[in-house]
Structure 1
Amino acid sequence: MGMNRRALLGRIAAVGAAGVAGSALVLPGTAQAATWKKRLTGADLDTNHRWQVAGTDLGIPYVLENGSIGYLFGDTFNTPWPEGPPLPNDWRSPVMLRSAVHPGAAGGVVFDSAAKVWGNGRAPEIMHNGHNGIGIDGLWEVTVIPNDGISFPETGRQLVSYMSIENWHSVGPAGPHWKSRYAGIAYSDNGNDFVRTNLKWWNSPDNKDPFQMWTMQRDGDWVYVFSVRSGRQDGPMMLRRVRWDRLFYPESYEGWGWNGSNWGWGRPCSPILNGRFGEPSVRRLADGTWVMAYLNAATGNIVTRTATGPDQVWTPEKIQVTSWQEPGLYGGFIHPWSSSSANGLHLMVSKWTRLPDGRSTAYHVSQYVGTV
């Protein structure tokens, strides 16, 4: 069975709030850099016919150990949207599809396989999920949502950072926003089965911990981790780094912090940015440009920033996609094969639109093309 109606309506409120706010703040004709290229998922597409991936979101792209691209999807169903009909509708998360096609090709992203599937067939979730029940660690878990993925050719291992969701509609000092219980790491040595480790970056009771939604990018021996609070709420963005072979050792993570006179590594984290952040996505492009994308939940826009390095100054926001282009939008995950050239930026953008009574009218992922 999919999410129950109470949980569904809570998530609708949490996910939809940014889109509603954005519609009020962004005027038609607002300049944007990215344009729609194609819809990637849906009940009418091969994602459903081949792997029963119909209604889904996120589609976080990362480089696999074999050089192709894995796409991490969140709550996934064999119906067009989470509430069906019919029910049950085969709720799964996370699910991974794969592609070796460059997103800049004329036909855009084309998926060729699914994790844990030989050829065609139902794509299962790639790690344990409590599904509105007791999770693998004995705690209540609504669902598991991927944050980002990273792979290491030296070992053939892949890692996925994720959130264990406590509820979709946390009320209180920080609500209403969704609340993660903790951020965690899962690993796979075969590219299919991911094992959730006992590493947990616990959220605070007031839902203000800034290390819940991660994005990861390797540069040489270091993996740089950018993170924000869960729930698309106001707060800081933090930056840490850890050697690639020490990701399982929390004491090895170094913070990027300000000591009152200068910035440096090995300090308590200081905010590198402040805002109302959706899920962040950071990638280092082939020419060395660092690009950051996220939903600005205060304006409803998918925006990007650039920098010459992870610990350098980030440019002001550049609007890529507005809620007028894609109502109910969120995500904005950067394809790692993007470039700094004109129309070289490829974004995976989610859409979830509903009627006033909460019934969904769209729940899918599209590819957008823009310029950093």
Structure 2
Amino acid sequence: MGMNRRSLLGRIAAVGAAGVAGSALTLPGTAQAATWKKRLTGADLDTNSRWQVAGTDLGIPYVLENGSIGYLFGDTFNTPWPEGPPLPNDWRSPVMLRSNVHPGAPGGVVFDSAARVAGNGRAPEVMHNGHNGIGIDGLWEVTVIPNDGISFPETGRQLISYMSIENWNSAGPAGPHWKSRYAGLAYSDNGNDFVRTPLKWWNSPDNKDPFQMWTMQRDGDWVYVFSVRSGRQDGPMMLRRVRWDRLFYPESYEGWGWNGSNWGWGRPCTPILTGRFGEPSVRRLADGTWVMAYLNCATGCIVTRTASGPDRVWTAEKIQVTSWQEPGLYGGFIHPWSSRNANDLHLLVSKWTRTPDGRSTAYHVSQFVGTV
């Protein structure tokens, strides 16, 4: 992230892609596609005065069972950044704010409520978190970070995919990366209280399991799950699908794979893309276009790709937000009410900047607007 513009422009990031994706060379461009619209969280905003949500990250938007939008935040504090001051600073994760305001409105995203809160008041975390202690399953847990959310109007149920973080600094041949212990699913039947299920997709001891950071999108009877390794490290992106009413049955997940002559479902997963991915976000737009966004950790840019379907060819990367436009960025979550119309791609982008000695200078989420 600390790369300057000259060195960034001088690099070519080869994002190899297997199978349907072919291969792509990404040359960081000189102009971004998305523009900053507004900051959404911070100690000086109503997210703090109303719900004590000041410094926070992620802000993953998904459609709730009632048609409005929930926004999932990871490590959240009532101070501008994680280290305070003061301490303690009310560390929570995940936290959910909600809105029924279209992100394309003149004022952008406007939050109107918080999960587990009647009116204004402190927004608590929506599921159990071990917080640098023994978690709900008897294992050490640093924190719980949401990956994505999905809801089912047929039942009124919501699901959150999440990571149980084992540590933030797991050494490896490519340098330190955070390590999840496992990926899991939590559910809610009231939209407020999420119950962590016993289901666990365990990470490998070497932190190389590619099924740790999930993004989920439903299309008809199927939920398509795209996933990558934890820690924003080099590796594959995998694609699975499962019937919406079988998400709690791991044996029902089908892999999208290459058998040497063709691609098909019901096979061991074959990488659909390879690269150094941040948290992925995939959404199906109203016209049927599929859009993928993530931080390209090799270039420091938030990028998007499009496809006509989840198992179709994905385009080359399109740069949306650059690291010199917004230093210390990560995330890049697609608002599900985005469209292919001009300047109607809405991204929730996290920012965490620090001084050389580690003191935070910014830790918040902003809305950016671009074009698919």
Q: TM-score range by the shorter chain?
A: over 0.9
Partner Cα separation in structure 1 for residue 166 and residue 340 of structure 2: 38
Cα deviation, 1:198-239, whole Å, max 9, x if unaligned, reads 000000000000000000000000000000000000000000
Distance 1:223 1:10, change over 3 A: farther
- Describe the SS at the equivalent of 2:224: strand
- Measured in 2, the distance between the counterparts of 1:10 and 1:166 equals 36
Quote the offset at 1:361 in angstroms: 0.3
Give deviations 1:124-163, integer Å, cap 9, x for gaps.
0000000000000000000000000000000000000000
Change in Cα spacing, 1:5 to 1:272, as seen in structure 2 (3 Å) is closer
1:7/1:311 Cα in 2 relative to 1: closer, same or farther (>3 Å)? closer
Change (3 A) 1:369 1:6: closer
Q: 1:27 to 1:38 in 2, by over 3 A?
A: farther
Alignment of 1:55-204 (within 5 A): 55-173=55-173, 175-204=175-204
Alignment of 1:180-259 (within 5 A): 180-259=180-259
Indicate conservation of the 8 Å contact 1:347/1:368, yes or no.
yes
2-structure distance, mates of 1:8, 1:75 = 29
Q: 1:11 aligns to what SS in structure 2?
A: coil
Structure-1-length-normalised TM-score: 0.93
Q: CA-to-partner distance for each residue in 1:29-73, whole Å, 9 max, x for gaps?
A: 822100000000000000000000000000000000000000000
- Deviation by residue 1:314-360 (Cα, 9 ceiling, x = unmatched): 00000000001110000000000000111010000000000011000
The structure-2 alpha-carbon separation of the partners of 1:115 and 1:336, relative to structure 1 and needing over 3 Å to count, comes to: same
Give the secondary structure class of the aligned counterpart of 1:8: helix
Change (3 A) 1:8 1:37: closer
SS at match of 1:148: strand
Q: Is the 8 A contact 1:217 1:224 kept in 2?
A: yes
Residue deviations 1:279-331 (CA, integer Å, cap 9, x gap): 00000000000000000001000000000000000000000000011100000
Contact 2:104 2:344 in 1 (8 A): yes
8 Å CA contact retained: 2:12, 2:25: no
Q: Partners of 1:304 and 1:234 in 2: how far apart? A: 18
Aligned-residue offset at 1:172: 2.7
| 1:7–1:137 distance in 2 versus 1, CA, 3 Å | farther
Closer/same/farther in 2, CA of residues 257 and 27 from structure 1, 3 Å limit: closer
Unpaired stretches in structure 1, ≥5 consecutive residues: none
Q: 1:327 to 1:5 in 2, by over 3 A?
A: closer
Runs of 4 or more, structure 1, over 3 Å off, are 1-29
What is the correspondence of 1:253-332 to structure 2 with a 5 Å cutoff? 253-332=253-332
Contact preservation (8 Å) 1:77, 1:89: yes
C-alpha distance 2-332 of structure 1, shift in aligned 2 (>3 A):
closer
Counterparts of 1:225 and 1:43, CA distance in 2: 34
Contact 2:21-2:272 within 8 A present in 1 as well: no
Secondary structure, in 3 states, of the residue corresponding to 1:145?
Answer: strand
Secondary structure, in 3 states, of the residue corresponding to 1:199?
coil
Counterpart Cα distance in 2 of 1:363 and 1:26: 28
Q: Identify if the C-alpha distance between structure 1 residues 313 and 266 changes in structure 2 by more than 3 Å, giving closer, same or farther.
A: same
Instruction: Tell me if the contact between 2:333 and 2:348 (Cα under 8 Å) persists in the aligned partners.
Output: yes
Residues 173 and 99 (structure 1), Cα distance of their counterparts in 2 relative to 1, 3 Å cut = same
Q: Compared with structure 1, are the counterparts of its residues 268 and 18 closer, same or farther at alpha carbon in structure 2 (3 Å cutoff)?
A: closer
**Separation in 2, partners of 1:129, 1:13:** 37
SS of alignment partner, residue 306 of structure 1? strand
8 A Cα contact 2:15 2:25, kept in partner: no
The answer to whether the 8 Å contact 2:223/2:242 transfers is yes
Q: Deviations over 1:144-189 (max 9, x none)?
A: 0000000000000000000000000101335400000000000000
Gaps in structure 2 of 5+ consecutive residues:
none
Report the secondary structure of 1:48's partner residue: helix
Q: 1:308 to 1:6 in 2, by over 3 A?
A: closer
Q: Give TM-score, length-normalised by structure 2.
A: 0.93
Work out the CA distance in 1 between the residues paired with 2:89 and 2:22: 31
Tell me if 1:20 matches 2:13: no
Cα deviation digits, residues 256-294 of structure 1 (max 9, x gap): 000000000000000000000000000000000000000
Q: Alignment identity in percent?
A: 93
User: How many residues align structurally?
Assistant: 372
Compared CA separation, residues 3 and 307, structure 1 to 2 (3 A) = closer
**Is the Cα contact below 8 Å between 1:159 and 1:186 reproduced in 2?**
yes
Contact 1:144–1:162 at 8 Å: present in 2 too? yes
Contact 2:307/2:315 (<8 A) preserved: yes
Per-residue Cα deviation, 1:84-117 (whole angstroms, up to 9, x for no partner) = 0000000000000000000000000000000000
Cα deviation for residue 21 of structure 1 reads 25
| 1:5-30 C-alpha deviation (Å, 9 max, x unpaired) | 99999999999999999999999982
Compared CA separation, residues 17 and 114, structure 1 to 2 (3 A): farther
Q: Rate the CA distance shift 1:28–1:22 in 2: closer, same or farther, 3 A.
A: farther
Q: 1:327 to 1:55 in 2, by over 3 A?
A: same
Question: Cα gap change, 1:107/1:23 in structure 2, threshold over 3 Å: closer, same or farther?
Answer: farther
CA RMSD across the alignment:
6.4
